Chain A
Amino acid sequence: MTSDIRIEESGSHQAKPLLEIRDLAITFKTGSGEVKAVKNAHLTIMPGETVAIVGESGSGKSTTALAAIGLLPTNGRVSGGQILLDGEDIANASEKRMIELRGNTIGMVPQDPMSNLNPVWKIGYQVKETLRANGKPNGPDDVAKVLAQAGLPDAHRRAKQYPHEFSGGMRQRALIAIGLSCQPRLLIADEPTSALDVTVQRQILDHLDTMTTELGTSVLLITHDLGLAAERADKVVVMYQGNVVEAGPSLELLRNPQHPYTQRLVASAPSLASRRIQVAKEQGIETDELLAPADAKTVAASDELLKIEDLTKVFKLRSGFGRSTDFTAVDNVSFSVKRGTTTAIVGESGSGKSTVAQMVLNLLTPTSGRIVFDGVDTSSLGRKELFKFRRRVQPIFQDPYGSLDPMYNIFRTIEEPLRTHNVGNAASREKKVRELLDQVALPQSMMQRFPNELSGGQRQRVAIARALALDPEVIICDEAVSALDVLVQAQVLNLLAELQSNLGLTYLFITHDLAVVRQIADHVCVMEKGKLVETGATDDVFESPQMDYTKALLNAIPGASLMLPPEVA
């Protein structure tokens, strides 16, 4: 097998690093002058080693990797430093030389499996294209072999299919197959699994591990998830504002972070935090202070504010000529939410969790079943009562870019619910908006600004302020923190917990991220394919999951296998 040869070859390079980046600086030309995206990056990858770059969006982690494969956008250039591949400086190498290197020596697995396969070509053709460009044998058998190695079953048949016939995980496997098809010595994987469900993510990363170990390929993994990086990589490089702020062996870095930014990151990474709770539990440490919404538990009120009974939603999928097939998005789901607590609905994409949220918000009509809010069946509400119901149940959506009207300034956005419900006069409404901004810790000077001038976290704060404007009792957070960077996510979660204990709010938290659930929720409902699989108190579900699916989900949290001291916080 070719892999044997590879291992020998990489063995001969053992002493020298495969890729060495020294004092790299990258500049982008923009409308308002030159911007330094990367200022001072350096990292070393030895043959066969996996190195992860961790950072939040805009930290320069992807830019650094793109520079290594010579694919910077046309307005970007390497303005200083060296990128040494096997001792050869490729920072300003010619396009011709880079084409020689790409595929053969440096492979790449891009981030988004949905957009990185060309939808008009068959998968097999796209693999063949790569093989041919690098002068490898490219018959149908070779293509199938490459796909089979990436873990695609029935590869001959799959090669003849188009990308839209593949699921997200299969597409990512195809991309990995393409990236590794020419057995490169370095594979750059840019957030290879962040668009995938956790269980799929785990499978894909496991497979990537096996393949690269077999081939002796070095991997440069780019991720925002510190837990994932620590679990998968030998060395972790932390980037912040275009600088490398800390680098070292994974566990060493996690256990003993030195730079204040790394310390913050380690403290707030949700996957690690939930792991820490786990460890603390095992050692019998009282975890109340580790769990954010601890105060909420002491709220004495234990009445069931929201009760969902046998909820079912069937969508009719059109299949042409007036025929339709039924698709059961939510299947016989029942649970209840106690006042002042946080209930999380967890599930992967397609589990029907968002559909439940939409029905609770009365934006979708259930096919059957009841949603009882404060003793009243919501489906029986008339127009006026529905209008009143809307005051008491408010949503916060996932995408802070999409949930605020770009035409409305912050004042109008937060004032809208008040105006819609004819609360007070102009002066009292303005006072209320100012109070709300204080509550979500935004400066009042923000009122005249527009959403596009705010950062992601600030926008989510505005969305929270708008949801709070009518003094609701229940807030439905549909993936409310999933689009935010880790540190911002931690801040927003803290804010939500604080608001809950101050205002006695009840949260229904829809999320795919079990790690976040552990931090914030009192009760968990696990959903799979429209069905409720498991419910229970968060601690019980995390400590002794009953169902296989829940166990698989829990195991898939990145960083679950790491041993961390409980007291780091």
Chain B
Amino acid sequence: MTTNPNHFVAPVEETPLLATDSKITDQAPLSLWAEAWKKLRRRPLFIISAVMILILTVIALFPGLFTNVAPNENCQLANSLGAPEPGHPFGFTYQGCDVYARVIYGTQASLAVGFLSVICVLIIGVTLGAIAGYYGGWLDAVLARLGDIFFALPLILGALVLTQLPMFRENKSVWTVVLVISLLAWPQMARITRGAVIEVRNADFVTAARSLGVSKFGALLRHVLPNALAPVIVLATLELGVFIVAEATLSFLGIGLPPSIMSWGNDISGAQAAIRTNVAILLYPAAALSITVLSFIMLGDAVRDALDPKSRQR
């Protein structure tokens, strides 16, 4: 039929027509979380950090499984700064207590402070951030200024001041440390949540939900928040590590956990006196702290990569 030599037609056999607008659908359905999990599963960074966090959690929950030396009993001054010996692999502290047992038992306090602070920060920060971002207006302005006030206080300086308040000074415990940290650290979480919520709140699917009759608050809970959670989760994992360090710092300064509670911060503080004679007793709790914090930060990095919306297939 074609007569024009310039008119080229590809052979139909070589360029078969596919059904218009179809996508391969032979694999299992994938939600965002399932997809992120699939990506995470194969990342060495995630596997290493997850295994380490798992081990740390088991140590924190059942310290007795890892040592049968009671950390605070049988401390004999005769052993002060003693070298490692069978049954006491890390040696002895200034007070003659077993370093290994103290490091193992100290895990509990550090992780507890980390997890509890993150939970509190999530509750305060996500609630306030979501409300500020979603409703905007004067509510946003007030909450943003409130956040800025806390933001301007450096964590340690703020904690120094707060812990001098009688109500904190007299009841030093894990909870007071958690309270102080959460009070000073929520604005960052609120900011991240606010930004993520603002990004999502104008999405078409929110308008669609509203126009089918979902209430304004319902749309926030059901559509906006779930879609704004990814950066929040990443920040939460990263902050876990930061809070554990904060607890150690506060305890080191003597304003964190009371000496009666074993924690790495307290141990590092106690090792100061012996730093010239036996560095090892400083090194072990410090190493435990570093490994823990590193694990959480690595986990946060891996989770961020997995939840990165840019890497999602459309």
Contact = CB atoms under 8 A, between A and B. Distances in A.
Interface of A: 40, 235, 240-241, 243-249, 252-253, 256, 258-261, 264, 361-363, 387, 390-391, 393-395, 397-399, 401-407, 409, 416-417, 420-421, 445-446, 448-450, 452-458, 463, 466, 470, 485, 487-488, 491
Most buried by A among B207, B212, B312: B212
Contacts of B203: 402
B137 interface: no
A256 B2 contact: yes
Given A256-B1, A395-B211, A405-B223, A249 B204 contact: no
13 contacts: A241-B15, A247-B8, A361-B211, A395-B207, A398-B204, A405-B209, A407-B223, A407-B226, A420-B218, A448-B29, A452-B35, A452-B314, A458-B22
Given A241-B15, A247-B8, A405-B223, 14 more contacts: A245-B9, A246-B9, A258-B7, A395-B211, A399-B204, A403-B204, A405-B205, A407-B227, A417-B212, A420-B214, A445-B25, A470-B212, A487-B20, A491-B21
B18 A241 contact: yes
Given A244-B8, A244-B10, A390 B211 contact: yes
Contacts of A487: 20-21
Given A259-B15, A449-B29, A450-B31, A249 B7 contact: yes
Interface residues of B, number: 41
A453 B10 contact: no
A504 to B, nearest CB: 20
Contacts of B212: 390, 394, 416-417, 420-421, 466, 470
Instruction: List 6 tightest A-B contacts by C-beta distance, closest first.
Output: A248-B7, A457-B21, A403-B204, A390-B213, A402-B204, A258-B9
Interface in B6-55: 6-10, 12, 14-15, 17-18, 20-23, 25, 29-32, 35
B208 interface: yes
Contacts of B10: 40, 243-246, 259
A416 B209 contact: yes
A260 B19 CA distance: 12
B21 A391 contact: no
A63 to B, nearest CB: 17
Given A395-B211, A399-B204, A247 B7 contact: yes
Interface string B229-250: 0000000000000000000000
B277 interface: no
A42 to B, nearest CB: 8
B6 A249 contact: yes
Contacts of B9: 245-246, 258-259
Nearest to B210: A363
Given A401-B314, A402-B205, A453 B21 contact: no
Contacts of A448: 29
A291 B255 CA distance: 80
Given A248-B7, A259-B9, A407-B31, A452 B208 contact: no
A95 B300 CA distance: 39
A201 B101 CA distance: 76
A258 B205 contact: no
Given A449-B29, A450-B29, A453-B30, A403 B208 contact: yes
A108 to B, nearest CB: 25
Most buried by A among B21, B31, B210: B21
B260 interface: no
Given A361-B211, A450-B30, A406 B15 contact: no
B208 A391 contact: no
Given A245-B10, A246-B9, A466-B208, A417 B15 contact: no
Contact of B205 (A241, A404, A417, A453): A404
Contacts of B313: 452
A260 B12 contact: yes
B68 interface: no
A363 B207 contact: yes
A456 B21 contact: yes
A255 to B, nearest CB: 11
Contacts of B14: 40, 243
Given A259-B12, A405-B227, A455-B21, A450 B32 contact: yes
Contact of A406 (B1, B25, B209, B227): B227
Nearest to B39: A31
Interface in B284-314: 312-314
B29 to A, nearest CB: 4
Most buried by B among A249, A252, A406, A488: A406
Contacts of A260: 12, 17
Nearest to B203: A402
A387 B7 CA distance: 59
B226 A258 contact: no
Nearest to A395: B211
A264 B19 CA distance: 12
B2 A258 contact: yes
A453 B23 contact: yes
Contacts of B32: 406-407, 450, 452
Contacts of B207: 363, 395, 397, 403
A153 to B, nearest CB: 36
B9 to A, nearest CB: 4
Most buried by B among A247, A393, A407: A407
A403 B6 CA distance: 45
Contacts of B312: 452
A246 B8 contact: yes
Most buried by A among B205, B211, B313: B205
A132 B314 CA distance: 40
A443 to B, nearest CB: 8
Contacts of A253: 7
A156 to B, nearest CB: 40
B25 A449 contact: yes
A260 B11 CA distance: 10
A446 B21 contact: no
Most buried by B among A260, A264, A455: A455
Contacts of A453: 23, 25, 29-30
Contacts of B18: 241
Contacts of B23: 453-455, 458
A253 B208 CA distance: 42
Contacts of A485: 21
Given A397-B208, A405-B205, A458-B23, A417 B4 contact: no
Given A240-B15, A421-B213, A395 B20 contact: no
Contact of A409 (B29, B35, B210, B214): B29
A240 B9 CA distance: 12
A397 B204 contact: yes
Contact of A457 (B6, B20, B29): B20
B7 A458 contact: no
Contacts of A243: 10, 14-15
B57 to A, nearest CB: 28
A147 B44 CA distance: 54
A167 B18 CA distance: 40
A405 B222 CA distance: 10
B115 to A, nearest CB: 26
Contacts of A246: 7-10
A407 B312 CA distance: 13
Contacts of A240: 15
Contacts of B17: 260-261, 264
A346 to B, nearest CB: 21
Contacts of A452: 30, 32, 35, 312-314
Contact of A258 (B1, B22, B223): B1
B12 A391 contact: no
A470 to B, nearest CB: 7
